[in-house]
Amino acid sequence: MRRTPDYSVYVVTDRALAGGRPLADVVAAALDGGAGIVQVREKILDSRAFFDEVLAVIRVARALGRPVIVNDRVDVALAAGADGVHVGQGDLPCEAVRRMAGPERIVGVSVGSVAEAVAAERAGADYLGISPVFATPTKTDAPPATGLDGLRRIRQAVRLPLVAIGGIHAGNAADVIRAGADGVAVVSAVMAAADPRAAAAGLVRAVAEGRNLSGIMAREERR
């Protein structure tokens, strides 16, 4: 059976934000800094260049034993031998994605409401991206932010691991974890960082802090 990935710090790629740096180098630094999983997202390159990019990221991630997820393109994920695929509400239906990806590959679905979360869980998703939790400049076509309250409501409605995305950085990651997320996904906080290793390490610390506070709060409540 497949091991559950460490969703704590989930890096989503963006070539533009990486500037001139090779994407695989930025990813390698982030994974070295403690990021547990990476999603290759690409909206401009043609399919072959996207495929080559995924292969390059898989090479660095596999050396560290971390899974690689491909955004939107199930065919690119399958052709490259990626560990999973992530789809949004405007991508292929989750049921069709699960059929193509098979039972072993990870399938993630972006949701922005309780109804979408429940539907994705029923349709066979392995984890949910709560998107966007906060407003963000990275995705201009994004739906309204769920906020921490929206994240809490989704946490109560489904059992799947939740990865929050949208406007998250080391300064608010602990809040997001306390609101019920299992991990934080970031684009610019790592891809645009001068030191992606340090940026990932800072997020790992913030997530741990959020979990410790959650644990303390839960113990306080039990008294």
Q: Which helix (H) or strand (E) holds 99?
A: helix 94-101
Contact range with a second copy by CB under 8 A, out of 16-24, 89-97, 120-128, 144-152: 89-97
Binding window for a second copy (CB under 8 A); candidates: 32-40, 96-104, 107-115, 211-219: 96-104
Kindly tell me the burial class for residue 156, based on how many C-beta atoms sit within 10 Å of its own C-beta (0-12, 13-18, 19 or more): exposed
Q: Cβ–Cβ contacts within 10 Å for residue 64, how many?
A: 13
Q: Is there binding between residue 213 and a second copy (CB under 8 A)?
A: no
Chain positions 4 to 43 lying near a second copy, rule: CB under 8 A, are none
Q: Which range touches a second copy (CB under 8 A), out of 12-20, 67-75, 146-154, 207-215?
A: 67-75
**Taking CB under 8 A as the rule, does residue 123 contact a second copy?**
no
With binding defined as CB under 8 A, does residue 115 bind a second copy? no
Q: How far apart are CA 91 and CA 141, in angstroms?
A: 14
Instruction: Give the range of 10-18, 48-56, 112-120, 146-154 binding a second copy by CB under 8 A.
Output: 48-56
* Whole-number Å distance between alpha carbons of 34 and 178: 20
113 is catalytic: no
Which listed residue (41, 66, 73, 86) binds a second copy by CB under 8 A?
A: 73
Q: Binder to a second copy among 17, 18, 74, 158 (CB under 8 A)? A: 74
Is position 97 an interface residue for a second copy (rule: CB under 8 A)? yes
- 89: helix, coil or strand? coil
Q: Tell me the C-alpha distance between 94 and 79, whole Å.
A: 19
Measuring CA to CA, which residue among 43, 80, 73 is closest to residue 58? 80
Indicate whether 75 belongs to the interface with a second copy (CB under 8 A).
yes
- Of 4, 16, 47, 103, the residue at the interface with a second copy (CB under 8 A) is 47
Cα–Cα distance for residue pair 65/37, rounded to 1 Å: 9
**Catalytic residue at 41?**
yes
Structure tokens of 211?
A: 């979990």
Nearer to a second copy, 141 or 149 (CB): 141
Q: Is 102 a binder of a second copy (CB under 8 A)? A: no
Tokens of 192: 């645009």
Active-site annotation holder among 8, 15, 41, 66:
41
In a 10 Å sphere around its CB, with 0-12 CB exposed, 13-18 middle and 19+ buried, how is residue 115 labelled?
A: exposed
The Cα–Cα gap between 20 and 186 comes to 19
Where in the sequence numbering do the catalytic residues fall? 41, 110, 139
Residues that bind a second copy (CB under 8 A): 46-49, 51, 72-76, 78-79, 87, 89-93, 96-97, 99-100
